[in-house]
Amino acid sequence: MTWAPPRVLIRIREWWRWSSLRTRLSVMTAAGIAVGSFAASIVAWQVLAYELRHSIEEQLRSDAAPLLAVIERDGASAATLPVAPDSALTARILLPDGTVRSPVGFPLALPVTTDARRVADGRAAARFDLIEVDDGIDDDDNYLVYDQDVFLVYTVHTDGGAVQVARDGQFYGQATTSFALFLVLDAMVCAGSGVIVGRMVARTVLAPVDRLTAAAVRVARTHNLDEAIAVRSGGEIGQLAQAINDMLAALETARRAQRLLADDAAHELRTPLTSLRLNIELLIRLDRRGTLQTALEPSARTKLLDDLGAQVAELSTVVAELTELARGDVTAERTEVVNLADQVVAAVTRARSRVPDVDLVLDLAPVPVPVTGRAAALQRAVLNLVDNAGKWSPPGQPVNVRLAVEGGVAVLEVDDAGPGIDVADVPRVFDRFYRADAARGLPGSGLGLSIVRRVVDTHGGDVSVHRSDRGGALLRVRLPLASPSDAAPVG
């Protein structure tokens, strides 16, 4: 049977869960002050009780000293106890046979306890005891009232018996009780003050958090990500403010990149869309006039339709590459250990169907090449490299694709026998939508190599441009091999 918490505990827990941080801090501060005050009060009460009792015990030892001297001189049976001027003191002699000898002037008879008899017999050491004594009976309107006194008794053994001295312990009890009541009141006052102090502490501690909240609300309302939050303190609050500023800077960078992507996309799509729209409008006008079959020669119609097909294919490629760039790293594809050789083979197979007139020569490492990454993204990067080389490869010259392992790094090289990349174009060859002057008349959007660099960067590698031995371009990709501790299988 499971234990179910009481309803009041559930309500307190729900209230605590939904209460503000200011309220929580106030309650915790007040509770801490209250607990500390009560704990200090208990310690102070115990210390006072110990000191008072210790003081009375020392006084009783001092009172017993002259009596012990008299007994040692005259003997326990014959000694006469002097009448003490201190009325709070009671003294007597206990003989081993149980006889009690008290001085004149001390009519109050304290009970003789078993422990006191053991001291008188010499079977126990000196001891202190608190003894309650009935001090008479008062009859008030037929009600019996017992008045009890408390004595602190010191019993010490001597030759032939024991000496007992006692003092009234009422003062001891009253003092400790009064002090305890005072401490309780003081603790209650401290607990009440703790609430006020807690609110003040919460207000002071949370003031920087309030400023951060106000700044965040202002940014959310104005959408101005350039507005940095002033860091006015160190420690955790300063780190939080700096983290928010870094987040705002990252968001602003992402927003600028998104705006730049949209502007570049609009610029790149304008030309093929305009050409496609003009060709379609021409066909529509001819069709409305009924001269579609006669106004254009068969060869012209074929060329026009081919142009339309090429423009649609180019638009499809641009849209696919824009989608790839816009997604960035946001993808549902799982990161795992894959064999890079399998992705290279798959990419080359797809490229052969897209550029059937280009000879693709594949040279793979004789062992698996495990890398940690996303299979589809890696395959897309390899395909873009092969497509780019295929556009520049002259007839009869193959495109070489090599994959090797060098010192814990997978190295992929794609080279062609084309004119190569001009030195002035190398720094920008991986920029989005950048196309060299020599590539203006070739199909493409200028996004393929940008996607390659993004994929390589997200996989912890690097891509570089070189001159191949045949005079063309050589693009080299280096990716770190997967760690042996990775549990995912190579595939």
CATH number of the domain that 445 lies in? 3.30.565.10
Q: Quick one: 8 and 75 in the same domain?
A: yes
How many CB atoms sit inside 10 A of residue 297's CB? 9
Of 205, 224, 245, which closes a domain? 205
**Total of domains in the chain:** 3
Q: Which two tokens stand for residue 408?
A: 């814990």
Q: Which two tokens stand for residue 395?
A: 């007839």
Q: How far is CA 325 from CA 252, 328, 329, 353, 407, in A?
A: 18, 5, 9, 24, 31
Mean pLDDT of 152-158: 86
Contacts of 276 (CB under 8 A, 6+ apart): 308, 311, 312, 315
Of 152, 187, 205, which closes a domain? 205
With respect to residue 78, please indicate whether it lies within any of the assigned structural domains: yes
* Residue 486 backbone dihedrals phi, psi, to 5 degrees: -65, 135
Q: Quick one: 118 and 241 in the same domain?
A: no
Mean pLDDT of 171-175: 65
For residue 370, the enclosing domain spans 334-480
pLDDT tens-digit map of 86-140: 555 678 888 887 778 777 555 556 788 888 888 888 888 888 887 776 654 444 4
Q: What is the pLDDT of residue 426?
A: 66
* Residue 168: DSSP 8-state: E
Q: What is the pLDDT of residue 393?
A: 79
d(CA 248, CA 242): 10
Contacts of 485 (CB under 8 A, 6+ apart): none
Q: What is the pLDDT of residue 444?
A: 47
Mean pLDDT of 15-24: 73
Mean pLDDT of 356-383: 86
With respect to residue 94, please indicate whether it lies within any of the assigned structural domains: yes
Tokens 């700044």: give the residue.
Answer: 215
Confidence of residue 22 (pLDDT cuts 50, 70, 90): confident
Asked which of 165-169, 302-306, 325-329, 452-456 is least confident by mean pLDDT, the reply is 325-329
Q: Quick one: 184 and 274 in the same domain?
A: no
* Residue 323 backbone dihedrals phi, psi, to 5 degrees: -60, -40
- Residue at 47: amino acid letter: V
Of 288, 321, 354, which closes a domain? 321
Q: Quick one: 297 and 419 in the same domain?
A: no
Q: What is the pLDDT of residue 172?
A: 64
Q: Quick one: 178 and 313 in the same domain?
A: no
d(CA 392, CA 416): 7
Please name every residue paired with 413 in a beta bridge, in sequence order, or none if there are none: 402, 476
With respect to residue 210, please indicate whether it lies within any of the assigned structural domains: no
Residue 487 has pLDDT above 50, yes or no: no
With respect to residue 486, please indicate whether it lies within any of the assigned structural domains: no
Q: What is the pLDDT of residue 342?
A: 92
Q: Quick one: 356 and 437 in the same domain?
A: yes
Q: Quick one: 361 and 472 in the same domain?
A: yes
Q: Quick one: 1 and 56 in the same domain?
A: yes
Q: Quick one: 155 and 10 in the same domain?
A: yes
Residues 94 and 162: beta-carbon distance below 8 Å? yes
β 360-363/399-406 pair status: parallel
Mean pLDDT of 194-223: 75
Q: What is the pLDDT of residue 489?
A: 47
Share of the chain above pLDDT 90, in %: 5
With respect to residue 353, please indicate whether it lies within any of the assigned structural domains: yes
Contacts of 299 (CB under 8 A, 6+ apart): none
Q: Quick one: 185 and 286 in the same domain?
A: no
Residues 452 and 432: beta-carbon distance below 8 Å? no
Confidence of residue 65 (pLDDT cuts 50, 70, 90): confident
Q: What is the pLDDT of residue 490?
A: 45
Mean pLDDT of 142-165: 70
If one compares 227 and 60, the residue with the highest pLDDT of the two is: 60
Q: Which two tokens stand for residue 28?
A: 């915790």
With respect to residue 284, please indicate whether it lies within any of the assigned structural domains: yes
Residue 366 has pLDDT above 80, yes or no: yes
Distance of CA 324 to the CA centre of its chain: 34
Nearest 5 degrees, angle CA 250-CA 255-CA 260? 125
Q: In angstroms, how far is the first alpha carbon of the chain from the final one?
A: 51
Asked which of 26-40, 299-313, 470-484 is least confident by mean pLDDT, the reply is 299-313
Confidence of residue 491 (pLDDT cuts 50, 70, 90): very low
Q: How far is CA 449 from CA 180, 309, 342, in A?
A: 83, 24, 21
Residue 178 has pLDDT above 50, yes or no: yes
If one compares 413 and 436, the residue with the highest pLDDT of the two is: 413
Q: What is the pLDDT of residue 403?
A: 92
Q: Quick one: 162 and 253 in the same domain?
A: no
Q: What is the pLDDT of residue 140?
A: 43
Please state, rounded to an integer, the average pLDDT across all residues of the chain: 75
Q: Quick one: 84 and 105 in the same domain?
A: yes
